[in-house]
Amino acid sequence: MLPVIGLSLHLMLFVPAGESAKLDRPRQDLNQSRFGRIIRTSNNISIGDEEVNEIPVLERLGDLPSKRPAIEHAVSEPALAVIGKYKSVQVNVDAKGKNIKGDAANEPSFAVSPKNPNRLVAGWRQFDDVTNNFRQAGNAWTSDGGKTWHNQTVLTKGVFRSDPVLGFDAVGNFYYNSLQLTFYTDVFKTLTGTPYSLIGPADGGDKQWMIVDATNSPGKGNLYQTWSTAGNNWGGRQFTRSTDGGKTWMDPINIPGSPVWGTLDVANNGDLYIGALGSQGFEFTRSTDAKYKIETPTFDRVTYVDLGGGIVFGSAINPAGLMGQTWIVTDKSNGPHAGAIYMLCSVGIDNQNPCDVSFSRSTDGGQTWSPYVRVNDDPRNMGASHWFGAMAIAPNGRLDACWYDNRANPASNNSALYYSSSYDGGKSWTPSTQVSPSFNPNIGYPNQSKMGDYMGVLSDNSGTSVIYGATFNGEEDIWFLRIPIAAAQAVPAVSASTYVGTYGAGTVSSIQSKDSNTFDISSIKQNGLGDTAEIQASYVMPTSTPVQLAVQVNAKAVPKAAGGLWVYNWKAKSYIYLQAFTFDAGGNAALTMPIASINPAYFDPKGNLKVLIRAVLPQKYSTGKPFKFQTDLLQMLYG
């Protein structure tokens, strides 16, 4: 692995998107050793008298294969990775479900069968000896939705392999794309997860990504692949296609803007989308003819997308790797956001915001993009990192995002897995929820200082599946988590936002909106719920030891709805349900919720308290049209 190329370890590179670097550009001493360097373009740039190649090679041979016999590995019970109702299951286990001590595994990818949602396959970088960075193609499968996993022998044992990318076709075949030491890729195929058969070489290069067209378009069954400009055997060319199931691949061609570190998706009509970091910033690239087997693909649309920052490389959390890659998905549903295109990436901004999960959407085929949205909802400028952000979309159009997060203690690298979802095309996101215990990402390195460069997320209408690396066992292992869509899952109102209450004179801190300030939301029906809307508010207490707290709500919903009050538990890092309230015949409601004994966990060290008010239109009353939820007053009373 290359170190931070040509840079002093006390320099963070910061190049604004779309702006060329100049020889006289001043140095910016932003503590590179802690936060890494922000890469905003894939151009070569100059710092002082030094020219720095922006795109490092992320995979390179370090050690020869370990001679340590596998029989030397002891085993242990997998760690209990549970927080609240969320339980993660270890994937890289032995035949008896035990953790294999002394090895390492990271950078997972997985796929689910379109014919059987309980059948999943997974791949990862497998290090048989934690003292040796020689890696191979780990793989496992499950037939019970991820409750138990069957870890298989690595593909082509003794052969260096990295950068696993898994996909599926419309008939249920799984494909495993694997990078060799030569910076060429191979593709393997299986129907059940075992055994895999080698289809053959697949061109490729460092940090490749692959997708199989599983639509009913003319491109059905096509395999598409992109890779980096570094670790590239093709003179910088980065794209290829197979129209015969991976047996043969076209001669690679160039992609405008030379995008790197991204992903692909295919629209219902077979149009191919690429989201990655290009020569002028984050880049959306479209091909409308790659689906046609007799055509040489061209790229007819290239649009640059502002995500507010750049990809971070070389941070203290993941020293030899990225802090995330670019994810792109498109809505294939028949819902209100059909055809929308979404892009997400963990991006670096500055030392106070070293890595945020940033999101943008396009509703006109990628021609224009919305202002970026910050998905993680913790306060800005606190020095927290939200890294390895990944995104998936369910068939019904629900968006799901997961990432690692150290908001609990930004001074530490210890991180936990977090989750958020959106039901309105990414305009708003549900409160960030911690779904794994915290872990130390800086232990268990297989003689290579990184957790990999990505994790995997897959979504269906009933929930979200995540495959990720973590050190719950004191070493790097692969874990699977299923996040069901809870019955009380809220759908944020389209125009709702976070309001900050201010403490004034006396003992009342309030948030008051004008009577015309209403919040509309389209119908979402699931698990017995109809339309829902929510308002979030946060307050700073005048004292850290209040004697009594009351929450007063004056609200109105049309048509008649039910409501509930939640308060944020800072220790559990989730909202806790407190009390329900109902609207009267006129659609009005008022709630005063006294709390005689305050739970200290409701207040952070600065005295912040957060409440969440949700209005739910029962499904039997839902008309499938927007309803109005109007909040006139949220009030906190102290004393």
What does residue 367 show for φ and ψ, rounded to 5 degrees? -75, -40
**Cβ-based neighbour number of residue 553 at 10 Å:** 20
* Correct CATH for 498-638 of 3.30.465.10, 1.10.10.10, 2.60.120.260, 3.90.1280.10: 2.60.120.260
Is residue 120 within 8 A of residue 110, CB to CB? The reply is yes
Q: How far apart are CA 3 and CA 436, in angstroms?
A: 31
pTM attached to this predicted model:
0.73
Please report, for residues 187, 384, 387, 422, 472, the alpha-carbon distance to residue 414 in angstroms, rounded to integers and kept in the order given.
35, 11, 12, 27, 11
**Domain extents in the chain:** 70-484, 498-638
Would you state the pLDDT for residue 511? Answer: 39
Q: Which residues, in sequence order, are bridge partners of residue 419?
A: 402, 433
Please report, for residues 34, 424, 494, 585, 587, the alpha-carbon distance to residue 620 in angstroms, rounded to integers and kept in the order given.
54, 22, 22, 17, 17
Would you state the pLDDT for residue 177? Answer: 98
261: left (phi over 0), alpha (psi -120 to 50) or beta: left
The DSSP bridge pattern shows strands 86-90 and 136-142 to be: unpaired
**70-484: CATH number:** 2.120.10.10
Would you state the pLDDT for residue 417? Answer: 96
Would you state the pLDDT for residue 536? Answer: 55
Would you state the pLDDT for residue 564? Answer: 73
Our CA angle for 421, 427, 433, nearest 5°, is: 25
Is residue 152 within 8 A of residue 179, CB to CB? The reply is no
In the chain, which stretches have pLDDT less than 50? Answer: 1-33, 43-53, 71, 487-529, 541-548, 632-639
Would you state the pLDDT for residue 603? Answer: 72
Would you state the pLDDT for residue 33? Answer: 38
> Residue 379 contacts by C-beta under 8 Å, 6 or more apart in sequence?
none
Would you state the pLDDT for residue 265? Answer: 98
